[in-house]
Structure 1
């Protein structure tokens, strides 16, 4: 059964990046190792602070778009509801 993930990465300054993937472990590793050019590499976005799992890729894409459309305050509230200290949920990856 395929799985898809919507995730939020952050850095020490709590800048936020929202993404979607079919392999959370691989994608988080790519962020940590700065494999891809762009926002997350430039701002050292390397901490997984939130994620959701989906069975349907369309639901995951819709959820990613929904979260990306939110104001920062709402994203912060979503993160802090399950991860109030902004711990790296993939610290061992």
Structure 2
């Protein structure tokens, strides 16, 4: 039996004004960003136009990715902002897609 290496991403999206943050998990970042940007997923990202990828973390375990997502969501906005600031102080789009 062969083992496949999977990659999971925990990510943060914001909108043009940086007034909101969305935190999500995916195993296909390109597809997921496309869905967000095209409004194919009704909800928060569509309502608040969160299309700009500003933070990304990779893991090989879906359990670790979900645990990290929950940890981030439970944190304060100040802590989330500080995390983005630490890796992307200008809050530039970091997506290659």
Runs of 4+ in 1 over 6 A off after TM superposition: none
Corresponding residue number in structure 2 for 1:8 = 12
Count of residue pairs the alignment pairs up: 92
In structure 1, what is the Cα distance between the partners aligned to 2:93 and 2:37?
Answer: 11
**Structure 2 gap segments, 5+ residues each:** none
Corresponding residue number in structure 2 for 1:66 = 71
Answer yes or no: is 1:76 the counterpart of 2:81.
yes
Residue pairs, 1:7-46, within 5 angstroms: 7-14=11-18, 15-46=20-51
**Structure 1 gap segments, 5+ residues each:** none
| Structure-2-length-normalised TM-score | 0.91
Q: CA RMSD in A?
A: 0.8
